[in-house]
Amino acid sequence: MSLSPKIKKIIEQLDRAKLSQQVKDMYSWSSLSVEDKECLLAEAEQRSIDPETPINFLFALYKMVDGKDPWNTLKVYALIIRRSDFSLRNKHVGLKRMRQTFNQIRETLSDADPTAVRRYKRYEASYYVLKAYVLIESEELSKAIQSYQDALHIYQEYGPDERVSWVEQQITRLHDITSHLIPPELLESKRLRLQAEFDNLAAKIELQQQVFLKIQASIREPQEARDQLLRQVESKEKELGELEKKLQDGNVHLQGLNQQLYHWEAGLHFLMALPQAAMAPLWVEVVRLALEQGKIDELTRQALERLALHFPEDAGPLLAEVAARSPEPFAVDIAKFQANTTHWMALMAQARALKDQDLNAAAQLLVNAWDTLLASQERGE
């Protein structure tokens, strides 16, 4: 889209995060044509996905629109929240401000205007999807599922139909993840209780050993007393053996629980990487284009960083176990699934090792790794 001199001047002012009074007077938001507004919003859309561009433009555009056009205010704030360099805390603040704008719009709606109501509902559904993204980034998966469900109810009533299917897939994906992850605090609590029982058994064994030594010292008593004491010794030895067996069993259980905690920690590392992995197809295309053009720029380097994920070595078998335990219709060939995942992780490891020596070779390895994985997913492997 070709930019007019007027729009170029406004963009230049917004980039400085300072609208001069002359520009404010000449180019107020309400004075702009629909085409001019679309040009500015298109520029904002492009900058929302490019962290290399200054965020000043988006903030200044928000100030220009806020209070004059609530619908486009929502659009601009959503684009700001999408920026990767916008802090998580500020994203939550931004969601609250968007909610306030929705409340202001709702007060002006009338049931006699179904077109406006439908527009409001679709904007609100998009808000719930954006909120789910932020909650996933905050690792609040249960709240993210609820936000997706709020969006789903709206799409089911007001459309579009293709969004219904997409949101249902996101809900299913999060349910699959949360159903196979036990909160670490629960495992830690159980481990601490078992440790307390372990310490209690150890104290009892020490006490019984002291009693046993006292009984041995008293064996020099007369024969009748000696026989009686020997029977007590046998009883105590038997009790001591039972306690030692309980102690061994408890130690084995404790080791198993520690190993289980390690595996779940590996799963949680994978979950924290999900928001980054979800954008992989986009970053793959960025790197592929750079390879075709023979130019590795800063954006390409950032794409490589996002694609070169690092997982614990237990991640591959863990993901295969998750797939194996998932209910229908999520069914995969476990051997192929684990082989594809292991090959994918191996290629990424090679790419990370080559990154400082041959950046082009590392980039090609990453593209091949993701192409192989994404192709296997499309084939249902």
Query: Looking at 256, 272, 288, which one is the last position of a domain?
Result: 272
The total domain count for the chain is 3
CATH number of residue 209's parent domain = 1.10.287
pLDDT above 50: residue 271: no
Q: Which amino acid is at 102?
A: F
pLDDT at 196: 57
150 and 38 fall within a common domain? yes
CA atoms within 13 A on the CB side of 29: 18
CATH number of residue 87's parent domain = 1.25.40
Domain containing 115: what range?
5-179
pLDDT mean over 132-144: 93
Of the two residues 200 and 132, the one the predictor is more confident about is: 132
50 and 164 fall within a common domain? yes
How far is 132 from 170, CA to CA, in rounded Å?
10
207 and 193 fall within a common domain? yes
256 and 295 fall within a common domain? no
pLDDT at 199: 62
Which tokens go with 217? 């010292």
Query: Looking at 179, 196, 214, which one is the last position of a domain?
Result: 179
Give pLDDT tens digits for 28-58: 788 888 998 999 899 889 888 887 887 888 8
Lowest mean pLDDT among 197-201, 223-227, 252-256: 197-201
How far is 354 from 350, CA to CA, in rounded Å?
6
pLDDT at 180: 72
242 and 207 fall within a common domain? yes
Give pLDDT tens digits for 80-100: 999 888 899 999 999 999 999
pLDDT at 74: 94
pLDDT above 60: residue 264: no
| Angle between helix 298-307 and 280-293 (nearest 10) | 140
Q: How many CB atoms lie within 10 A of CB 150?
A: 17
261 and 158 fall within a common domain? no
pLDDT at 284: 83
pLDDT mean over 180-202: 60
Query: Looking at 140, 162, 179, which one is the last position of a domain?
Result: 179
143 and 289 fall within a common domain? no
254 and 368 fall within a common domain? no
Of the two residues 133 and 224, the one the predictor is more confident about is: 133
Which tokens go with 74? 């929502």
Q: Look-up: residue for tokens 């996101």?
A: 170
228 and 325 fall within a common domain? no
236 and 363 fall within a common domain? no
pLDDT at 72: 93
How far is 21 from 78, CA to CA, in rounded Å?
27
Of the two residues 13 and 211, the one the predictor is more confident about is: 13
242 and 323 fall within a common domain? no
159 and 219 fall within a common domain? no
pLDDT above 80: residue 138: yes
